[in-house]
Structure 1
Amino acid sequence: MENILPAYNDPLFSILLIIVIALIISVVTYAWGLYRQQKEEGNLLKFLEKFDSAECSLDTDDMPFETHMFKPLTLLAKAFENSGEYHKAINIYLYIIKNIADEPAKMELMERLGNTYLHAGFLERARSIYTEILRKRPRNIKVLYELGVVYEMMHHYEKAREIIEPLNTLNEDTHTLSKFLELSALISDKMLRADEKAEALKTILEEEPKLYRQIVDTLLKLDTTAAWQVIDPQRIKEVIDILWFLPNSQLDLDIITSNETLSTLYYAKGYLQKQPVAKSGFFALDMLATARESGFEKGDLLFSYLCTKCKQSFPVSFRRCPNCMAINSVEVEEQIAKANPQTDYSLF
């Protein structure tokens, strides 16, 4: 016994013992990590099974997956998404995600899948996908924004506002987004009186001038007098379509006749009888006004709406771009057209 005990005090024995313990810890850690990875993959497969749909015309159940298929399939899915065939894109994304092992690529495709669900209008499914991504990668800024969009479209504005705090933590400038959500919640509030809404809208405009177009449009529906008080003659371009389609009963002639651009707009529209002396600075308006002065009164304006971020053009106005979901990115483009003949036909 006396000969054995000194071995425990041998420095070489201590080093060997430390090495053995380190190896054991490494093996256990590796085995645990492998187990966790397999469990995560199993959980992800179970999660994705909820989104399988028999409605898709693409049968991928018996299609063997090869690594070289990854890029062509993702391009095909994106092409389907861009053409509006969302069900086909979704089916392909689900198939790829279930068959690839690369975790970063899998998360990127999960994000595309969520985005496809969002554009297709499957908001609850998009919410589930984004939540699953954030469970694994809570610092994903793009997905945080997209989850906020989903909550906003579901009119869950309090939930959407909860996204602001983590974005602030990630050093994102969320002032405009915060005011945009405040405005959206205010507009949808059925409990506030019209005068209370009007005052709140003017306060938001003071705090975030970028929301000018939305606030003017909403105010004109609530309180015409309050709306004309905030209409800025220097920002008529932003609301030219809204002003063009205003009925005669909502015009403030004192404000209109004191501004050359507004006077030209409503002379070209046919609401004013006297042509302004100065030009408005808008080519289409000045051309219509000149034509009307010459006796041609069948001119009209057509409007299209450009997203200044993704450069997509749309026939109707938007608060968020339908393509890239940007806010405050709409640019109004006007062009001269021949007025459609008015009829007295009714559907009722």
Structure 2
Amino acid sequence: MENFFIDYRDPIFGLIILISAALIVATASYVWGVFSKRDEKDRIERFIRKFDSSNGLSTKHKELLRSIDIGSESLGLLATVFSKSGDFEKAINVYLIALENVKDKKDKEFILTNLGKVYFQAGFLKKSEEIFLESLKLGPRNETSLKYLSVIYERLKLYQNELEVLDALKEQGVSTDESLAFVKSQIIANDANLSFDKKIKEIMTFSKDFDFVLRLVLELHLKHQEPLSKIRKFPNLASCIDIIWHLKEPVNLRDREFKALFYAKNLNNEFETSSFFEINAISAMRKSGFFEADLNFKYVCKECKNTLPTHFYRCPICYSLQSVEILPKIVRKDDEINMPF
């Protein structure tokens, strides 16, 4: 027995044990790598079969793209051309063919991310979600996929899912405070278990840092037909002029801009100048006895400069949050006036 313990303490014996352990770990890692790659390959093949469509490229063209030696970058450019021209089915087919040929994990992740964008642009949100989740299996820190997922969940009103995605982005150093405030405000606004006053109180906790909250509170009062006199703090007129203009009674007359607007509408007799040329012009018309002037509005994204007919909190073109600019235009009064939300 003593001889056994002497051998056990022998440095050569220890070295043999160490080398054996290293070989076992290396072999296990290699086997695991082989099986995980095979599993990943099978998963991608199932994924391609699931999303492949016959509505885009013809079978002949698909076989042609498969047979010739074209790199994934070239296929990606071709898919981008189809996508920009609105041929989403063809773009999807090209990305799936690129996915069949590519070997590198990073390239697969890149193709999946772009494929998810195409489905998103085409309006297939659930399919887009599935593809972005697949890309995150290859690259869990894929910031682009996470950002698109947050927008998808917001549109689908899956706010708890969006909070999880925003937390993942925050861990990567992405600024998410504004998005978190918006999502949490939406969760509170849609909570059937909260009274109206409780909702407003909780949402207003975000108003110190984010102006959009004040417009949201104003919208909730109008939606639930609550008296606007209950509002303690109104948004600045530039962010809600399209709502205030359509009111039948004056509110917030302590504010110079509101007072000027309601003078222009002939709902207030105290004249005040405004920073809006359009309001000053309508006030001048009122003084001259012309009361047929009205305002309508268009909405411009300050980021992508696209013009849209309705108000948005998130731009539907570039997906920027709180980038809307409301632009009034003088028109003749119409018989049909609609609220802008």
Structure 1 length-normalised TM: 0.77
Which residue of 2 is the match for residue 272 of structure 1?
267
Is the CA contact 2:169–2:176 (under 8 Å) kept in the aligned structure 1?
yes
User: 1 CA distance for matches of 2:313 and 2:202?
Assistant: 19
Which residue of 2 is the match for residue 219 of structure 1?
221
Structure 2 counterpart of 1:139, from 138, 141, 145: 141
Q: Which amino acid letter does the alignment assign opposite residue 97 of structure 1?
A: L
User: 2 CA distance for matches of 1:227 and 1:327?
Assistant: 28
Is the CA contact 1:219–1:226 (under 8 Å) kept in the aligned structure 2?
no
Q: Which amino acid letter does the alignment assign opposite residue 194 of structure 1?
A: F
Which residue of 2 is the match for residue 316 of structure 1?
310
Q: Tell me: CA distance 1:195–1:101, structure 2 relative to 1, closer, same or farther (3 Å).
A: same
Residue 145 of structure 1: how far off its partner (Å): 2.4
Between 321-330 and 29-38, the greater mean CA deviation after superposition:
29-38
Which residue of 2 is the match for residue 262 of structure 1?
258
Q: Which amino acid letter does the alignment assign opposite residue 302 of structure 2?
A: T
Is the CA contact 2:304–2:318 (under 8 Å) kept in the aligned structure 1?
yes
SS state of the match for residue 118, structure 1? helix
Q: Tell me: CA distance 1:85–1:68, structure 2 relative to 1, closer, same or farther (3 Å).
A: closer
Is the CA contact 1:320–1:328 (under 8 Å) kept in the aligned structure 2?
yes
Is the CA contact 1:97–1:109 (under 8 Å) kept in the aligned structure 2?
yes
Structure 2 residues not aligned, in runs of 5+: 1-11
User: 1 CA distance for matches of 2:205 and 2:152?
Assistant: 26
* Correspondence list, 1:77-226, <5 A: 77-206=79-208, 208-222=210-224, 223-225=226-228
Is the CA contact 2:259–2:268 (under 8 Å) kept in the aligned structure 1?
no
Q: Tell me: CA distance 1:173–1:70, structure 2 relative to 1, closer, same or farther (3 Å).
A: closer
User: 2 CA distance for matches of 1:109 and 1:73?
Assistant: 10
What is the aligned-residue RMSD (CA, Å)?
3.4
User: 2 CA distance for matches of 1:273 and 1:169?
Assistant: 52
Q: Tell me: CA distance 1:341–1:130, structure 2 relative to 1, closer, same or farther (3 Å).
A: same
Which residue of 2 is the match for residue 341 of structure 1?
334
Q: Which amino acid letter does the alignment assign opposite residue 316 of structure 2?
A: P
User: 2 CA distance for matches of 1:106 and 1:340?
Assistant: 57
Which residue of 1 is the match for residue 238 of structure 2?
237
Residue 182 of structure 1: how far off its partner (Å): 0.6
Is the CA contact 1:201–1:219 (under 8 Å) kept in the aligned structure 2?
no
User: 1 CA distance for matches of 2:74 and 2:230?
Assistant: 53
User: 2 CA distance for matches of 1:230 and 1:84?
Assistant: 45
Q: Which amino acid letter does the alignment assign opposite residue 319 of structure 1?
A: Y
User: 1 CA distance for matches of 2:262 and 2:140?
Assistant: 53
Is the CA contact 1:216–1:230 (under 8 Å) kept in the aligned structure 2?
no
User: 2 CA distance for matches of 1:275 and 1:212?
Assistant: 26
Residue 111 of structure 1: how far off its partner (Å): 0.9
Is the CA contact 2:75–2:94 (under 8 Å) kept in the aligned structure 1?
yes
Is the CA contact 1:318–1:330 (under 8 Å) kept in the aligned structure 2?
yes
Kindly provide the CA deviation profile for residues 309-331 of structure 1, in whole angstroms up to 9, marking residues without a partner as x. 33322221112111222221212
User: 2 CA distance for matches of 1:73 and 1:191?
Assistant: 51
Q: Which amino acid letter does the alignment assign opposite residue 62 of structure 1?
A: E
Is the CA contact 2:109–2:138 (under 8 Å) kept in the aligned structure 1?
no
Residue 146 of structure 1: how far off its partner (Å): 1.9
Residue 91 of structure 1: how far off its partner (Å): 2.9
User: 1 CA distance for matches of 2:122 and 2:35?
Assistant: 36
Which residue of 1 is the match for residue 293 of structure 2?
299
Is the CA contact 1:86–1:116 (under 8 Å) kept in the aligned structure 2?
yes
Kindly provide the CA deviation profile for residues 90-130 of structure 1, in whole angstroms up to 9, marking residues without a partner as x. 23322332233344333222112212222333222122111
Kindly provide the CA deviation profile for residues 143-181 of structure 1, in whole angstroms up to 9, marking residues without a partner as x. 222222222222222222122332232233322222111
- 1:48 has 2:48 as partner: yes
Q: Which amino acid letter does the alignment assign opposite residue 311 of structure 1?
A: K
Kindly provide the CA deviation profile for residues 203-231 of structure 1, in whole angstroms up to 9, marking residues without a partner as x. 23236445333333233323333664221
Kindly provide the CA deviation profile for residues 226-264 of structure 1, in whole angstroms up to 9, marking residues without a partner as x. 6642214xx211111121233x15x42xx32x3332122
Which residue of 2 is the match for residue 7 of structure 1?
none
Residue 68 of structure 1: how far off its partner (Å): 4.3
Structure 1 counterpart of 2:275, from 274, 281, 284: 281
User: 2 CA distance for matches of 1:112 and 1:174?
Assistant: 23
Q: Tell me: CA distance 1:339–1:45, structure 2 relative to 1, closer, same or farther (3 Å).
A: farther
User: 1 CA distance for matches of 2:112 and 2:239?
Assistant: 37
Identity of aligned residues (%): 29
Q: Which amino acid letter does the alignment assign opposite residue 40 of structure 1?
A: E
Which residue of 2 is the match for residue 6 of structure 1?
none
SS state of the match for residue 297, structure 2? strand
Give the number of aligned pairs. Answer: 320
